[in-house]
Amino acid sequence: VDVKARLARACLRRRTWGTIQLCGLAIVVACTVAWLVPGHAYAQGESVTLSPAPPYNDGQEITVTGSGFTSGIPLTGLQIIECSDPGGTMANLPTDPLTGCDGTTINGNQVTPDTNGNFTTTYGILTLSQAGGNTINCDSTDFCVLWVGIDYNTQFLTGPHAFSEPFEVTTAATTTTTTTTTSPTTTSPTTTSPTTTSPTTTSPTTTSPTTTSPTTTTTQPSVTTTASSTTTTSAGTTTTSAGGTTTTSESGTTSTSSSSTTTAAGGSTTTAAPAASGSGGSGGSSGGGTVTTPSSQLAFTGSPPILPWLAALGFAMSLIGLLGRRILPRPST
Amino acid sequence: MRHRKLRNRFAAAASLAIAAFTMTAVLGAGAASAGPPPAPSLGTYPHWYVGAPEQLRDAGSDTTYFMLQHLSDLYMQAGLYGCQLNSAASPNYSVCLTGASATIATSDVNDNYDHIEILTGLGKIGSGDGQKQLCGNETAPFGSGQQINGLNSSAPGTSAGTTLTVDFARSSKAIDTSQPCEAQEVAEGYAKDGVPAVDFPNAEGPNPGTGVATDSTNPQPSLVTGNPCTTNGCWNDQVVGPVAAGWLPGDATNCDALPASSHATNPNAAVPTANNGVNACSGTPLTNLSNVGGTSSEAYRLWCNTAAHGTGTGIISDWAELTNITGTATNPGDGATIANHPLPVLIANVNSGSGTTATWLKYLANGCTADFPNHSLVECGGNEVLENNDAQFSGCAASDFSASSGTAQAADEAAEVASTLYFISNGVYNSNVHSRVVTVPNGSGGSVNYAAVKTELNGVIANSCISDVLAQCTEWNNDFPTARTLFNIYRSDTVRASAADFINWICDNSGGTGGQETKNVDYNTGVNYNLEVTSTIQTLFGFIRLTDGSSSTFGNNECPLINVAPAVTDATFGSGSSTINSTQGFEQAGQTPVVSGDLVTGTNIPSPCYVANPAGSVTANTITLTCTTTGANTGSGETVTFSLHSPNT
């Protein structure tokens, strides 16, 4: 009873509402500063997100969405390369492309941001192995990230750039799977909903159409998966077939049974994807291999997804505080 | 009692023995781990160490020039920890010490033990020229017909006063079979690459572009064969926008290429293009070239076909023919030109001796020649430009329109850049962003950058990833039409041991995880040299490294280590004879063959003697020798061993 009474008394004080308003304003200001002031890994303005969420299969085509690439971007476009990130931590992000990245993973297509600094493109994730001729390892136990910027050789850290969230490449699949992830019930304000799924690699004889079937939607953690598969023949011809069944489990893992991986149709591929959290960090569970949970400080140089939520909270507190003060009568003097 | 004494003595002796063994083992282990590495064997595979510093020189390819500079630097810096040099030798430090004195704790016996120095030669740049120089088939001062390291030459440094040595040729193309030493040439493929075409879809110059080259009162006769300039200049005083993006007269000069979805039925727009379709050009952007159709192919018609233009035939010389694809015109090259508004295609005149040019010629095929019949006569003054560098067009544009000024100059230079078609190494394109940028005046005292964007070839984009199973790795699986191998080419009859060591060092990746055990850690960086070689080739220069350990279903295993044939043990020869016979044969199955120039040693064979059979003729049971001292002693049942031609000469 005393507690309720105290709360009631507190609510009747203008000072309490004033404090709430001030706190809200402070949060808004702090979020703005964190967003704009350089020096934070995520405060450079550039960020990239990957969909679907990791882990990936060898050769899997994912959608890379970027924003904030507004200043100093020449018409040469953007480069995307795979870099190692031991443990998937921000502390272990590479500082030198010669020792931390493999140039053979560079995107083949032209990626140019629009006038707002945004872009969406596809990128084929690769398993990398030093034993197989690569300079770094990216597999089911070695985390990697994508570096996106202008010039990896001369402006790796000094020019506009962003690192993606860390990921693992779980299996040496022979299928290229294109998947689009959306979050219909909103998991994070930074989760994007890319729609472009055209693979960048085509053969002289075919094109790779965008496929939108089958689609499965579940409740949170929700993943809407659009699956198609690109199959390669040894002669270099590429055929694309759509179909297969997609099921989504409660844990958010998605099993995609799609078309064949060799010249002839047949066989199947399992693609595992964790829930699209949009947090930019969770390694998620795996359907194709063991995924270790990285340490809490994940590598991700985009703005923290929680930042807009915090700002919204601050704004709401300011508003509530303001209203509270206005509703209460001024104390008589 | 007596037994007890014996037992005690036995126990004491055993204890002493165990203690001594333990001490020996401990001290021995300590000594072994802390001591210097043993000096390596000289003259043996795979290093072919000679025990003395030497200098090497390579020449040829422009594409690999910078990469070889870097690899040479890595190799040379390893020599800082090479053998201990003999200060008492004459000249001082000209040979390694021998025996236990040859190494110390920090000695690197796996990387440049001999302190080899390498000069990445310039000379007449180009893969073809490098091979000519290697064969002594190009004039002085880089060959002069003299084989510095030939069988009958003296050591470099004594007779090399008039010519420069070429120990091996850098080459971005395969062996030129027209060269006189072709039979002796061996190509070590250590990297892969591709050659896409590039255009400039973002060259958005200020209007109007006059296109009056150099002298407004005396315009250049033509920008391109078959498309003469008018008296008002090559662009007829008309505006020129980003034609490669699909700009056509009437469009804004800052229009952008439409995305692929807007051109779903057009083969020129198979992939999304720049700028996401904002402010779209009305024409079809040029994002793909095709060589399908022989002399009627789009690529051949652009670079080579000089016949009059017609539907599906003859020269393509106007950008509107490529991008104004409307109505019944469905194929690039068949678009309608714009009346009184010429938009000439400027084909860059790339170095004819270049391996990159050779690769492009192979793509064009059908007898096209290295001077590209349709190359522009105005761009860069009609002179040859080097391969793999778009930035040089800045200088060309400034020179070509030096008589202009202000906005007219900016418009003319932008128009020239926008109208250019060029090709470039994909590795260079990917790893050197500056090589893609052309800087020209902006018309108001400043400058503006235009970027080259690579095209697809036959609907395939150049990708440098490594995989036998993924279709996207189009250079690795040779789906990209101009996928090629980059080589170091040596002559089997003259290759020096030190050159063989360096070439092998680049190729060697055999065994274990990544092959790191075959090389040491670079004390300068803390990274194993093998990994540094890989990252240099793949990350710093954008190619794919091929090694002796590369295995693939696409033939990417072209870098075997240089070796020699195994010894034969049944050699017979007569006094004064120049031939040696072997019943078991000199070419044993699965082994490296004996080749002309191999050094031959044996108990009764004078030294030095070399195999002198014409190349390719050492196939059975007889070899012919050439020796500096006459007359071989009689031998029968002798062991004859082979080594690389001369360790020092």
pLDDT digits (tens, 9 = 90+) for A90-132: 999 999 999 999 999 999 998 888 778 889 999 999 999 998 8
* B434 CA: distance to closest CA in chain A (Å): 9
Chain segment A237-249, per-residue pLDDT in tens? 332 222 322 222 3
- pLDDT band (50, 70, 90) for residue B586: confident
The pLDDT, as a whole number, for residue A117 is 85
All residues at 6 or more sequence positions from B600 whose CB lies less than 8 Å from its CB, including other chains: B580, B609, B610, B611, B623, B625, B640, B641, B642
The pLDDT, as a whole number, for residue B617 is 56
Residue in A closest to B530 by C-alpha: A135
Chain segment B367-412, per-residue pLDDT in tens? 999 999 999 887 888 889 999 999 999 999 888 887 777 777 888 8
* A112 CA: distance to closest CA in chain B (Å): 6
* B251 CA: distance to closest CA in chain A (Å): 19
Q: Is the pLDDT assigned to residue B46 strictly greater than 50? A: yes
**B204: chain A residues, CB-CB within 8 Å:** none
C-alpha pair distances (Å), B648 with each of B43, B54, B151, B168, B610: 11, 8, 12, 15, 14
Cβ of A236 within 8 Å of Cβ of B471? The answer is yes
- Tell me the Cα Rg of chain B: 31
ipTM of this complex: 0.85
| Candidate from A102, A121, A201 with C-beta closest to B461 | A201
Cβ of A234 within 8 Å of Cβ of B535? The answer is no
Q: Measured at the alpha carbon of residue B380, what is the angle toward residues B378 and B383, in degrees to the nearest 5?
A: 90
Say which residue the tokens 């003319």 belong to. Answer: B412
Are the C-beta atoms of B475 and B544 separated by less than 8 Å? yes
Determine which of B341-355, B409-423, B623-637 has the lowest per-residue pLDDT on average: B623-637
The pLDDT, as a whole number, for residue B3 is 57
| Candidate from A98, A112, A124 with C-beta closest to B472 | A124
Residue of B385, B391, B387, B386 lying closest to B434 (CA atoms): B391
Cβ of B534 within 8 Å of Cβ of A74? The answer is no
Determine which of A28-32, B495-499, B522-526, B579-583 has the lowest per-residue pLDDT on average: A28-32
Sign of the torsion angle spanned by Cα atoms B557, B558, B559, B564: positive
Chain segment B213-239, per-residue pLDDT in tens? 433 333 333 444 434 454 445 777 778
* B323 CA: distance to closest CA in chain A (Å): 19
Are the C-beta atoms of B96 and B86 separated by less than 8 Å? yes
- pLDDT band (50, 70, 90) for residue B33: low
The pLDDT, as a whole number, for residue B9 is 60
Cα B170 versus chain centre, distance: 6
Q: Is the pLDDT assigned to residue B14 strictly greater than 60? A: no
Cβ of B272 within 8 Å of Cβ of A121? The answer is yes
Cβ of B454 within 8 Å of Cβ of A202? The answer is no
Residue in B closest to A132 by C-alpha: B514
All residues at 6 or more sequence positions from B633 whose CB lies less than 8 Å from its CB, including other chains: B575, B604, B605, B606
* Strand, helix or coil for residue A70: coil
The pLDDT, as a whole number, for residue A78 is 94
Sign of the torsion angle spanned by Cα atoms B105, B111, B113, B119: negative
The pLDDT, as a whole number, for residue A73 is 63
| Candidate from B437, B513, B538 with C-beta closest to A102 | B538
| Candidate from A75, A104, A205 with C-beta closest to B202 | A75
The pLDDT, as a whole number, for residue A22 is 87
The pLDDT, as a whole number, for residue A238 is 30
Which A residues, 149 through 208, put their C-beta within 8 Å of a C-beta on chain B? 150-154, 172, 174, 176, 196, 198-205, 207
Q: Is the pLDDT assigned to residue B588 strictly greater than 90? A: no
Structure tokens at B286: 């040029």
Helix boundaries (H) for chain A: 2-11, 14-36, 97-100, 306-327
**A77: chain B residues, CB-CB within 8 Å:** 274, 451, 453
Cβ of A74 within 8 Å of Cβ of B535? The answer is no
Cβ of A207 within 8 Å of Cβ of B538? The answer is no
Instruction: Write the DSSP symbol of residue B536.
Output: I
Cα A172 versus chain centre, distance: 22
The pLDDT, as a whole number, for residue B10 is 53
The more confident residue out of B581 and B304 is: B304
Cβ of A109 within 8 Å of Cβ of B272? The answer is yes
Determine which of B29-38, B254-263, B267-276, B394-403 has the lowest per-residue pLDDT on average: B267-276
Determine which of B99-108, B247-256, B383-392, B459-468 has the lowest per-residue pLDDT on average: B247-256
Structure tokens at B183: 């039979």
Q: Which amino acid is at B253?
A: T
Q: Is the pLDDT assigned to residue B419 strictly greater than 70? A: yes
Q: How far apart (Å, rounded) are the C-alpha atoms in residues B568 and B565? A: 9
Q: Which amino acid is at A253?
A: T
- Cis geometry, peptide bond prior to residue B208 (ω within 30 degrees of 0): yes
Average pLDDT, rounded, for chain B:
81
Cβ of B479 within 8 Å of Cβ of A119? The answer is no
Average pLDDT over every residue of A44-52: 91
Which A residues, 243 through 282, put their C-beta within 8 Å of a C-beta on chain B? none
Cβ of B539 within 8 Å of Cβ of A77? The answer is no
Q: How far apart (Å, rounded) are the C-alpha atoms in residues B191 and B487? A: 7
| Candidate from A106, A109, A153 with C-beta closest to B271 | A109
All residues at 6 or more sequence positions from A208 whose CB lies less than 8 Å from its CB, including other chains: A198, A199, A201, A202, A230, A238, A240
Q: How far apart (Å, rounded) are the C-alpha atoms in residues B394 and A58? A: 42
Rounded to 10°, the helix B497-507/B65-78 angle is: 110
Best residue in B254, B266, B429, B467 for a mutation probing chain A (most A CBs within 10 Å): B467
Chain segment B115-156, per-residue pLDDT in tens? 999 999 987 889 999 999 888 887 545 544 344 443 333 333
Cβ of B451 within 8 Å of Cβ of A135? The answer is no
Average pLDDT over every residue of B79-99: 96
Chain segment A196-226, per-residue pLDDT in tens? 333 333 333 333 333 333 333 332 332 233 3
Average pLDDT over every residue of A17-42: 68
Half-sphere exposure of B55 (CA within 13 A, CB side): 12
| Candidate from B270, B458, B538 with C-beta closest to A103 | B538
* B171 CA: distance to closest CA in chain A (Å): 21
Residue in B closest to A175 by C-alpha: B470
Best residue in A58, A64, A76 for a mutation probing chain B (most B CBs within 10 Å): A76
* Strand, helix or coil for residue B224: strand
Q: What is the DSSP string of A208-277?
A: ------SEE--SSSP--EEEEEEEE-TTS-EEEEE--EEEE-TTS-EEEE-S-SSSSS------------
pTM of the model: 0.76
Chain segment B436-447, per-residue pLDDT in tens? 999 998 888 888
Size of interface A-B (CB pairs under 8 A): 164
Q: What is the DSSP string of B293-333?
A: TGGGSHHHHHHT--SPPBTTBS---BHHHHH---TT--STT
Residue in B closest to A134 by C-alpha: B534
Instruction: Write the DSSP symbol of residue B271.
Output: S
Residue of A274, A123, A152, A261 lying closest to B470 (CA atoms): A261
**A125: chain B residues, CB-CB within 8 Å:** none
Q: How far apart (Å, rounded) are the C-alpha atoms in residues A120 and A221? A: 24
**B509: chain A residues, CB-CB within 8 Å:** 133
* Strand, helix or coil for residue A34: helix
All residues at 6 or more sequence positions from A99 whose CB lies less than 8 Å from its CB, including other chains: A135, B527, B531, B535
Cβ of B467 within 8 Å of Cβ of A59? The answer is yes
Task: Tally the residues of chain A.
Answer: 333
The pLDDT, as a whole number, for residue B82 is 97
Best residue in B198, B288, B456, B472 for a mutation probing chain A (most A CBs within 10 Å): B472
Are the C-beta atoms of A128 and A137 separated by less than 8 Å? yes
Average pLDDT, rounded, for chain A:
65
Residue in A closest to B199 by C-alpha: A76
Residue in B closest to A119 by C-alpha: B276
Q: How far apart (Å, rounded) are the C-alpha atoms in residues A89 and A144? A: 10
The pLDDT, as a whole number, for residue A228 is 34
Cβ of A103 within 8 Å of Cβ of B542? The answer is yes
Would you call A66 an interface residue with chain B, using a CB distance cutoff of 8 Å? no
Chain segment A260-314, per-residue pLDDT in tens? 332 233 333 322 222 222 333 333 332 233 233 333 344 445 555 566 778 888 8
